[in-house]
Amino acid sequence: MECTIHWQPSAGMAFLAETGSGHTLMMDGAPDGGGRNLAPRPMETVLAGTGGCTAYDVVLILKRGRHDVRGCQLKLTSERADTDPKVFTKIHMHFVVTGVNLTEAAVQRAIQMSHEKYCSASIMLGKTAEITTSFELVAA
Question: What CATH number corresponds to the domain at position 128?
Answer: 3.30.300.20
pTM for this entry: 0.93
Q: Are residues 115 and 48 in the same domain?
A: yes
- Sequence-separated contacts (24+) of 55-58 with Cβ below 8 Å: 55/95, 57/110, 57/113, 57/114, 57/118, 57/119, 58/95, 58/97, 58/107, 58/110, 58/111, 58/114
Per-residue pLDDT of the chain (140 residues; tens, 9 = 90+): 999 999 999 999 999 999 999 999 999 999 999 999 999 999 999 999 999 999 999 999 999 999 999 999 999 999 999 999 999 999 999 999 999 999 999 999 999 999 999 999 999 999 999 999 999 999 99
pLDDT of residue 61: 98
Q: Provide the number of structural domains found in the chain.
A: 2
User: Same domain, yes or no, for 21 and 63?
Assistant: no
Which backbone phi and psi does 51 adopt, to 5 degrees?
-65, -45
Domain that holds residue 18: 3-33
Q: Are residues 105 and 130 in the same domain?
A: yes
User: Is the domain of 55 the same as that of 104?
Assistant: yes
